[in-house]
Amino acid sequence: MCAFSARVHRVSVRYIESSTLPTSWGVFDIHGFEDAATGKEHVVLTLGDLREGGPVLTRIHSECLTGDALFSMRCDCGNQLHAALQAIAAEGRGALFYLRQEGRGIGLVNKIKAYKLQDEGADTVEANERLGFGADMRDYSILRPMVEFLGIRQARLMTNNPRKVAALEEQGVEVVERLALRTDSNPHNEKYLRTKAGKLGHMFEG
């Protein structure tokens, strides 16, 4: 089975509203978007003037309830989220896209099913495939209305995933630099990180 989903998504994302969002790292602006095709809501956190000042420090982050909010040690998602927000705050300018595509697009309950298969010995890619999904089901075409609304034309992208570089460029944003997000491994996510590097092509060095 192909490592990545090749779905075609008819972009139906529209901007809803913006507000301020005070965080531990600084006061961000939060922008809400809604995808009429799926009913999912996505947000972008921004800091500073994105239309002026050159390439925007950017992170595309897929929702991970277990890692982002429940502090799971099975992945590196929560640590990457924190590191990206901290980096944007330190720079004083940037954008973090928070996309509601849990479990690389398979959803929360299916991710729990995949966890069960991983408990029994499967890796993260094998688990998805045994459930009938591709290794990565995320659809990055939903980014286009968001980057156009924000006026982002060039980016310095914080990611270990080369697919995100290609995906952002497909939406009309020139990625002038890829910045690796390095986080500490632990006994619970070592196999997960090896699989991301070996089967999904993630690059943990800049």
**Domain that includes residue 130, residue range:** 102-137
Tell me, yes or no, whether 90 lies in a domain.
Answer: yes
Same domain, yes or no, for 189 and 130? no
Regarding whether 73 and 39 lie in a shared domain, the answer is: yes
The structure tokens listed for 113 are 């099913």
| DSSP line for 48-83 | S-SSSSSSEEEEEEE--IIIIIS--SSSSHHHHHHH
87 in the same domain as 160: yes
77 and 121 co-located in one domain = no
136 tagged catalytic: yes
The answer to whether residues 129 and 169 belong to one domain is no
* pLDDT the model gives residue 181: 86
Is 117 part of any domain?
Answer: yes
**Set 138, 144, 178, 184: catalytic member:** 138
Least Cα distance to 196 among 5, 3, 2 occurs for 3
φ, ψ of residue 29 in degrees (nearest 5): -95, 140
Indicate whether 176 and 147 sit together in one domain: yes
Q: Are residues 51 and 144 in the same domain?
A: yes
Q: What angle do CA 151, 152, 155 make, to 5 degrees?
A: 170
Catalytic status, residue 138: yes
**Quick one: how many helices (H) and strands (E) in the chain?**
7, 7
Give the chain's domain count: 2
Confidence (pTM)? 0.89
Per-residue pLDDT of the chain (206 residues; tens, 9 = 90+): 233 333 444 568 999 999 999 999 999 999 999 999 999 999 999 999 998 889 999 999 999 999 999 999 988 899 999 999 999 999 999 999 999 999 989 999 999 999 999 999 998 889 889 999 988 889 999 999 999 999 999 999 999 888 899 999 999 999 999 998 877 777 776 766 666 566 555 655 65
Question: What distance, in Å, lies between the first and last C-alpha atoms of the chain?
Answer: 29
Out of 68, 76, 123, 136, which one is annotated catalytic? Answer: 136
Q: Flag whether 205 is in a domain.
A: no
Which pLDDT score is estimated for 7?
41
For residues 141 and 159, give the distance between their C-alpha atoms in angstroms, rounded to a whole number: 17
Cβ density class 165-177: b for 16+ within 10 Å, e for less: bebbeebebebee
Answer for the pair 157, 179: CB distance below 8 angstroms, yes or no: yes
Is residue 56 within 8 Å of residue 154, measured between CB atoms?
yes
Rg over alpha carbons for the chain, rounded to the nearest Å, is: 16
Does one domain contain both 73 and 113?
Answer: no
For residues 193 and 106, state if they share a domain.
Answer: no
